[in-house]
Amino acid sequence: MRVLGIESSCDETGIALYDTERGLLAHALHTQVALHAEYGGVVPELASRDHIRRVLPLTRRVLGEAGLTLSDIDGIAYTQGPGLAGALLVGASVASGLALALDLPSVGVHHLEGHLLSPLLAEPRPEFPFIALLVSGGHTQIMRVDGVGRYELLGETLDDAAGEAFDKTAQLLGLGYPGGPAVAKLAETGDPSRFKLPRPMLNSGNLEFSFSGLKTAVLNLKIKEGDEARADIAAAFQEAAIDVLAGKSLQALRQTGMKRLVVAGGVGANRLLRQRLDAEASKRRFQVYYPPLDLCTDNGAMIAYAGAMRLKAGRATNGSFGIRPRWDLADLNAPD
C-alpha cells in the first residue's frame, strides 16, 4: 500500500510517499524559518498562506522523485492535529479533496503519533513495547508504547516543553529562531563547567518535568555575567536540560523494567542528548533508537507512516476531515 503523507501543523510543509512493502519512497520539506525569522516566532496567518503555496508543488516533486503519479497512490494521510488551526486546514483540505477526486481512503493523523512512530522509519527498527521520550517544541512526554495506538503517558512537563526551553534560551542569548540548533551550536564553543544551572525535578521521584525555572536561571545568569559569557551560559543550559531528559529516561526504563528507549521530536536531533543516551545505553545494557536526523523535526514521512499503519488496520477517516488543533494523544484509539 502506497500512502501520501501531508504535514502542515506548524511552520513546515512536509510531503512524503510511504510504501508498506518498500518503505519510504520519497519525501520533501519546505521550512518557513526564513519567513518567520524577523518576528521571532511563527505567525499563524503567514504560515497558512505559505502552506497553500507549497503543498501542491511539493507533492508533484515527491511523486516525480518516486517515479509515480497520483494514480499509483492507495491512500492519503494528513496531520489532523494538534497544531495551528489555519495551517492544519490546508493539509486537511488538500488531502480530503484529493482523496475525494481520486476515490481513495484518507486518514487524519495525530502529529505526536507521527513523531512517536518516526524511529520505525530507521534501521534497526525498535520492537514493541518500548519507552518513548517525546521532546518537541510543544511537548515533553515519557510514554510507554505497546503498539500502534497503544500509548500510556508516564510523565510530562508541568510547564514549558524542552524545545521551548531551548527556543527561549536562544532568545535570551540573542540567537535566532528556531533556537534549539543555535543554542546547541553556541554551546559547543562554551565551557559547560563554568556555571552550574539547576536540574529541575531531576530527583522528584516521578517522571514529570519542569523547564520554566531553568529559563529564569538563564535569564538571571545572563544579566549577571553579560554578553561575554553567552557561550558558557548556552553550554551550562544545554548540560542541565540534557541531564534532566537523560535522567528521566533512565528512570522510566528502571521503573518499567524495559530495555528499549525511543527518542522522537525536534530535540531528539540534539547531539549531546544522543551522546549521553548512547553512553548510558552501553553502560546499562539497553537499546536506544532515534529517527534519522532529518526526520526528527516535523516532516511528511512520519505522517505517511502513521497513516499507513492506520489505513492498513482499516481505520480510514474518510470525509470527516475536521481538524483538531487541541488533541490529547491519550484520546487516540488503537487501530487494531
Give the residues lining the site for Zn ion (CB under 5 A). 136, 298
State how far Cα 128 lies from the chain centre. 19
Residue number, 105 or 114, with CB nearest to Zn ion: 114
Closest approach of Zn ion to the CB of residue 231, in Å: 28
Closest approach of ligand KG4 to the CB of residue 145, in Å: 17
E-strand ranges in the chain read: 2-7, 12-19, 23-31, 75-81, 106-110, 130-135, 140-147, 150-156, 260-264, 287-289
| Contact flag: residue 190 with ligand KG4 (CB under 6 A) | no
**Pairing state between β 106-110 and 12-19:** unpaired
Question: Of the listed pieces 160-168, 219-227, 277-285, 307-315, which binds ligand KG4 according to CB under 6 A?
Answer: 160-168
| Contact flag: residue 136 with ligand KG4 (CB under 6 A) | yes
**Pairing state between β 2-7 and 12-19:** antiparallel
* Binds 179: which of ligand KG4, Zn ion, none (CB < 5-8 Å by kind): ligand KG4
Give the one residue of 14, 180, 192, 300 binding ligand KG4; rule: CB under 6 A.
180
The amino acid at 202: L
Residue partners of 83: CB distance under 8 A and separation at least 6: 8, 9, 10, 111, 325
Helix H or strand E segment including 45: helix 44-66
- Single out the residue of 282, 244, 224, 80 nearest to residue 165, CA to CA: 244
Question: Of the listed pieces 49-57, 122-130, 180-188, 195-203, which binds ligand KG4 according to CB under 6 A?
Answer: 180-188
Closest approach of ligand KG4 to the CB of residue 295, in Å: 10
| Contact flag: residue 247 with ligand KG4 (CB under 6 A) | no
Q: What residues from 97 to 116 belong to the interface with ligand KG4 (CB under 6 A)?
A: 115
| Contact flag: residue 265 with ligand KG4 (CB under 6 A) | yes
Is residue 52 exposed (0-12), middle (13-18) or buried (19+ Cβ within 10 Å)? middle
* Binds 166: which of Zn ion, ligand KG4, none (CB < 5-8 Å by kind): ligand KG4
State how far Cα 182 lies from the chain centre. 17
DSSP state of 142: E
* Binds 51: which of ligand KG4, Zn ion, none (CB < 5-8 Å by kind): none
Closest approach of ligand KG4 to the CB of residue 167, in Å: 5
* Binds 163: which of Zn ion, ligand KG4, none (CB < 5-8 Å by kind): ligand KG4
Strand partners, 141: 134, 156
Give the one residue of 298, 300, 316, 324 binding ligand KG4; rule: CB under 6 A.
298
Alpha carbons 132 and 135: distance in angstroms, whole number: 9
Which residues are at the interface with ligand KG4 (CB under 6 A)? 115, 136-138, 163-164, 166-167, 178-181, 184, 265-267, 269-270, 297-298
